[in-house]
Every structure is written in C-alpha cells, then in structure tokens.
Amino acid sequence: MTGAIDTSKIRNFCIIAHIDHGKSTLADRLLEYTNTIDKRLLKQQTLDSMELERERGITIKLKAVRMEYSVAGAAYELNLIDTPGHVDFSYEVSRSLAACEGAVLVVDATQGIQAQTISNVHKALEAGLVIIPVINKIDLANANVAGTVDDLVTTFGFARADILAISAKTGEGVRELLAQVVRKIPSPGVTSPQSTALRALVFDTFYDDYRGVAALVKVADGTLSKDKLRMMATGALLTPEELGIFKPQRQPVESLGGGEVGYVMTGLKDIHAVKVGDTLVLAAGTAKALPGYKDVKPFVFLSIYPIDNNLFGQLRDALGKLALSDASLAFEPESNTALGFGFRCGFLGLLHADIVCQRLEREYNLELVSTVPSVEYRVLLTDGSTLSVRSPASMPERTRISSISEPWVLVSIVSPAKYVGAVIQLCEQRRGVQQKMEYPSPDRVIFAYELPLSELIHNFFDELKSLSSGFASLDYELLDFRPTDAIKLDVLVHGESVDPLSCIVQRSKADYFGRTLLQKLKDVIPRQQFQISLQAVVGGKVIAREDIPALRKNVLAKMSGGHRERKDKLLEAQTPRLRRGSRAASLSGNP
C-alpha cells in the first residue's frame, strides 16, 4: 500500500449504537465478509482486544481497521471505526465521528430505540455524517422489526426504504449493508495530494513501551510519509519511525494518502508531546490547523491511593500513560495522613472510574484503594472570589462561604410505558425537574429531567435498572451550576477525623446519609480488643454515632461458680490491658 489510492474509492465510516445492540458483532461480520481476517481465526469481539472488554462484553476504546471490498468490479477501501456504546465513553464516539464521513446506526430489534441511540444520532447529524439506519438481531424470536422501523421513522424521520434489517450473528443482510456503505457514504473531500500541504488529524493515541507514543490519524490533505513532521499544538518535532494501517493488526506502509486512516509511530517518549485533536503537518509547513475537539471536562472525582506508598511514582507513570489515550481522564497529586500519597482523579462517570482503576491494577500490577466519589462544587467566598472544590478536604470553613453551587445535568430516560410511575417517583426523590415526557410509540416513553449530578452518581442507574426490570436506559449531558445547600460531613473513627471518609452532602439529607455511612463502616471495620466509636460530624455537631464492640476474651469462661468478688477481680485485671490498647490505637491513628 503506497497511499496513492484514488480518494473516490475510500469510505470512512463508524458504527454507532446503544450498549449491547450488536456493534462489535457486526464488526466481526464485516471483517469476515471483506476477507480481512480468515474465518478460522475470527473470534467474538475481534476488535475488542482489551481483557476488560471481553470480560464485560462492552467496547471501551474506539478501534480502527481497514477493509477492502469490491462492488460491481470496483475495489474500495473501507476504513471502519468501532465505537463504545456506554454513556461514560461518549467522548470516544465524538472523536470517531470527526474521522468519518458516514455512520452505521445499529438498533436492536428486541429493544428498539434507547437513550444512547438518540444521543449518537444527534452527534452524527451535528458532524454532518450520512447515516445508514440498520435494525439488528432480526433472527431472534422476539424481534419486533416492524415496530422498530416505525420508531425510527417517527423519531428520526428516516425513509422506510433506507432502513436495512440484518442479523450480525448469522450474517443475514450484511452484504447488502456493505453495498449501501459504498453507495451512500461519500468519499473524503480532499484535494490533489501532490498540490496540497500535509494536514492530518490526530483522533486517538496510545503508548508503546518500546517505540513511544503512537498517533492514530486521518490524513485530511496531502500525503503523509517519513518526512520530518511537527505537531501544531505542542510544537513537538518528529520523524516517523513507522507508518501503518490496522488490518486489524498493525501493518506497516510506505505512506498514507489523502482521506486514509492509519497510525504514526512518532518515536517520542514524552507522553505530553502528542495530544488528541492536534494537527500533524510538515516541519517547515505553514498549513492551517484542522478543527480539533471540544475539551471534555470530567464530572466525577475520587481519590486513588496505592496500598504500598512506595509505588506512588509507578502510579503516576501509569496514570500518565492511560491519560495519553483517554483525554477525559484528569489527575492531580494529593496526600493525607491516613492513606499517604495518591491522586485526585476526574472521570466522566462511575463506569469510567471503575474501568480506569481495574486497568491500573491489571496492566500495571498496582494494588489500589479509592475514596467515595464526588462532584465539583463552585464555592463563592465572602471576599468575592470563587473556589472549585473537587474533594471534601478542600472545602473551606463555613464562615468563609457565601454560597455553594453544584452541577446539574439533563437526563434522557427511555423506558417501557408500564414503568412510568416508578421512573417519575425515582426522579422526584432525587430532586429532579421534569422537562418533557413523550410517547414515540404506545409502549415506550421518553423522559427529559434536569437532575443534580450528585444525585445521579449515587446508585441512580442501579435503582433505575432495578425498578424497570433492566429495560430502562439513560443518557445525560452537563447543563450548568445552580445554588445548593451543601455541607461537609466528617467521619471520626475513635475520636480522630479520617479525611478519605469525609463527603459533601445536602443539609436536608445529612442525618440519613451519616447514619447509613456509619452502619456500613461498622460492618466493614474489624473488631479490636477495645471498643471503637464511629461518629458523623457536621460543623462540630455529632449527628450520628455507632460503636464497634470490643472483641473480648471471656475471662469468666472457666468459672463454674464462686462468689461475685472472684468475678470482679478477673474483670478488673483485664481493664488496664484494654486501656493500653485504646491509647495505642489513638496514637497510631489506625484502629
């Protein structure tokens, strides 16, 4: 492959869908029918190479692969980007759309339109992509193809004749889909490679332990070869060690032409030298930068500490390498007396946080402990300045606070109609404000609620799935910051404050939250030879208390009788030992 292919024969497209609607299975069939991978070597979720992806059955990282397919005797180059479906990884979808001219929208025939379906369609339309609607899983006995077609026509305005019905599992209709991709998705709009200066968009990055930073690029103009190059945003200079494409394994090529998608082994060891959304140009070039990506801001914050504090440096390096390919991950160092040195990390959601923590443990052999998740609060101080509070430890004294604002999100919920009452009750309990409720079909309802983000991250998704028997789905986007009556709740263990257990809660819910937290801690903290007191404190006032009883040795077990004075003598002999243990625990701060 020399990069000299006619750009009119190139098709760049991605697969978008709600989670578990069959994106990765469809990608497997496309790889099989284009003979990109021998059928004997094909396995389920071929493009999901990460161990966590296979275990959970979800796509976490976008994947790019080149396929070749012939229609009417003409050979075409198809560049496919497989995208995640979960709301926490929606930023990966946005990056994929920027590298494509078309999108295949996959909808499960048994579930119909879900929350992420609506979100992804809007993103694709905003990016100016041509959408090919596809109904998947038509081979299942409970597939409702006709009803799903009606929903797509009613909700998005697709023409009935344009909607394809396929089974990614059996392969039915997949060849027709490939033909539609060639016919309907436009070729990249590039000018002649010989007369145009090089411009390539970096839409993803990863780190190779032996070859440094690698950049996934889409060549917008010109031809990418092994000339000296420059990153426009960072100013880093590089000479590519290797250019290549994914099929789906890395395959070196001499150059990449206009409209093509591939990778560049930069040879750079500095992970900050290459940024997602940057433009790659010739070192001496003066080309204008391509439109990048909107900076994504993390919503959920929690602290991560290594159990062995000697591994703090290793944790820092591991987070840096993960952040290279995950622009939504933010982290900054922090420390406290209880857990030592660690990092305050920002994520797009709880699943995102869980995935990052598991990747750190598995890929970098780290043992970690994490704190209670929180959101960012904006605190207006009495002197007129504004402070961003991302952890309870950085909350200022109450006397310095004028007002506190918290983030609100617009939540879209798609649910079967029979669960309407339960969904409304849940949202109302979480301080939700209903904005819209509509029925795209008699048996499906779409809600739009404004909710505080702090309510969303505390078991909202689990409760929604539970009350809807697993059928409801949700999507959300950040709206703004609004005033709230929030306070800091501290937890005292054996009379000493433990910062990692502190949290920021609503004043009206402080008593309930404090009692619930202490009851859980009582079940988790092991009993000692002395009594341990647990207290929830707000502004110096104790609002809840639990006591963990001492793990006593029964010194009276061998006494079958005798006078009361004999029993008192044994109990008094035990008292000094208990007091020494209690004092030792207070001094060490580790009951």
Cβ within 8 Å of residue 286, ≥6 positions away: 197
Is 138 annotated to bind a ligand? Reply is: yes
Measured distance CA(149)–CA(133) in Å, rounded: 9
H or E segment to which residue 466 belongs: helix 460-467
By mean pLDDT, which of 109-123, 140-154, 278-292, 376-390 is the weakest? 278-292
Q: Give the pLDDT band (50/70/90) at residue 588.
A: very low
| H or E segment to which residue 570 belongs | helix 564-588
Q: Which two tokens stand for residue 146?
A: 């006709």
Residue 91 has pLDDT above 90, yes or no: no
The reply to whether 139 sits in an annotated binding site is yes
Please report which helix (H) or strand (E) contains residue 474, including its range.
strand 473-484
Query: Are both 200 and 170 inside the same structural domain?
Result: no
- Interatomic CA distance for residues 325 and 214, integer angstroms: 10
pLDDT for the residue numbered 499: 82
Top mean pLDDT of 105-109, 397-401, 493-497, 584-588 is at 105-109
How many separate domains does the chain show? 4
For residue 576, name the pLDDT band (cuts at 50, 70, 90): low
Is residue 538 domain-resident? no
Let me know whether 35 and 159 are in one domain.
yes
User: Do 261 and 218 contact (CB within 8 A), yes or no?
Assistant: yes
How far does Cα 417 stand from its chain's mean position?
29
Same domain, 465 and 332: no
pLDDT category at 591 given cuts 50, 70, 90 is: very low
% of residues, the chain, pLDDT over 70: 87
pLDDT in tens, 381-433: 988 899 988 888 888 888 888 999 999 999 999 999 999 999 999 999 999 99
307: domain CATH number?
A: 3.30.70.870
| 198 pLDDT above the threshold of 90 | no
Q: How far is CA 421 from CA 242, 415, 451, 478, in A?
A: 58, 11, 17, 25
Residue 246 lies in a domain: yes
Burial (CB count within 10 angstroms: exposed 0-12, middle 13-18, buried 19+), residue 234: middle
21 known member of a binding site: yes
Residues 356 and 319 in one domain: yes
Question: What mean pLDDT comes out for the span 219-232?
Answer: 87
Q: Where is average pLDDT lowest: 55-69, 205-219, 221-235, 270-284?
A: 55-69
Q: Return d(Cα 451, Cα 475) in angstroms, integer.
A: 12
**Does residue 258 lie within any of the structural domains?**
yes
278 is in an annotated binding site: no
Query: Is 534 domain-assigned?
Result: no
Q: So what's the pLDDT on residue 554?
A: 66
441, HSE (Cβ side, Cα atoms, 13 Å): 20
Q: Within this chain, do residues 138 and 197 fall inside the same structural domain, yes or no? A: no
The CA-based dihedral angle spanning residues 408, 414, 418, 422, taken in that order and rounded to the nearest 10 degrees: -20
- 190-199, 400-409, 464-473: which range is least confident on average? 190-199
Q: Does 535 fall in a domain? A: no
363-382 mean pLDDT: 88
**Residue 22 labelled as part of a binding site:** yes
Cβ atoms of 208 and 246 closer than 8 Å? no
Domain that holds residue 426: 378-484
CATH number of domain containing 215: 2.40.30.10
Q: Any binding-site annotation on 468?
A: no
Provide Rg for the chain, Cα atoms: 29
Q: Do residue 393 and residue 466 come from a single domain?
A: yes
The label of the residue with tokens 């004749």 reads 161
Output the domain CATH number for residue 391. 3.30.70.240
Question: Taking 90 as the threshold, does the pLDDT of residue 528 lie above it?
Answer: no
29 and 168 assigned to the same domain: yes
436 is in an annotated binding site: no
Question: Which two tokens mark 19?
Answer: 């989670």
pLDDT of residue 61: 66
- Lowest model confidence (mean pLDDT) among 3-12, 192-201, 392-401: 192-201
pLDDT tens readout for residues 328-354: 788 889 887 777 888 989 888 888 888
**Would you say 75 and 6 are in contact if contact means Cβ atoms under 8 Å apart?**
no
Could you tell me if residue 20 is inside a domain? yes
Instruction: Retrieve residue 338's tokens.
Output: 């209880």
> What is d(CA 57, CA 12) in angstroms, rounded to the nearest whole number?
25
Domain end (from 184, 208, 238): 184
In a domain, 558, yes or no: no
- The mean per-residue pLDDT over the stretch 201-205 comes to 85
Would you say 131 is a known binding-site residue? no
Report the percentage of the chain scoring pLDDT > 90: 22
Res 210: pLDDT: 83
**Do 348 and 422 belong to one domain?**
no
> Does one domain contain both 238 and 259?
yes
Decide which of 145, 165, 184 is a domain's last residue. 184
Residues 59 and 138 both lie in one domain? yes
Say whether both 162 and 237 belong to one domain: no
Which of the four pLDDT bands, split at 50, 70 and 90, describes residue 2? very low
Q: How far apart are CA 44 and CA 425, in angstroms?
A: 40
According to the model, what pLDDT value does residue 185 have? 92
3-state SS, residue 402: strand
More confident residue, 529 or 534: 534
Q: 388: buried, middle or exposed (CB in 10 Å: 19+, 13-18, 0-12)?
A: exposed
102 is in an annotated binding site: no
pLDDT for 589: 44
Q: How would you classify the pairing of strands 237-238 and 229-231?
A: antiparallel
What pLDDT is stored for residue 47 in this prediction?
A: 60
Tens of pLDDT, residue by residue over 244-286, are 998 888 889 998 888 888 999 988 888 778 888 888 888 887 7
Go through the chain and tell me how many residues it has. Answer: 591
Tell whether the model's pLDDT for residue 164 goes beyond 70.
Answer: yes
* 574 belongs to a structural domain: no
Same domain, 120 and 234: no
Compute the average pLDDT of residues 217-223: 87
Q: Is 34 marked as a binding-site residue?
A: no
Kindly state the average pLDDT of the residues 535-541. 88
Please, are residues 271 and 324 in contact by the beta-carbon 8 Å criterion?
A: yes
Last residue of a domain, one of 484, 510, 542: 484
pLDDT at residue 578 is higher than 80? no
CATH code of the domain in which 73 resides:
3.40.50.300
Q: What is the pLDDT of residue 192?
A: 45
CB contact at 8 A, 135 and 158: no
Q: Tell me: cis bond preceding 248? Omega within 30 of 0 counts.
A: yes
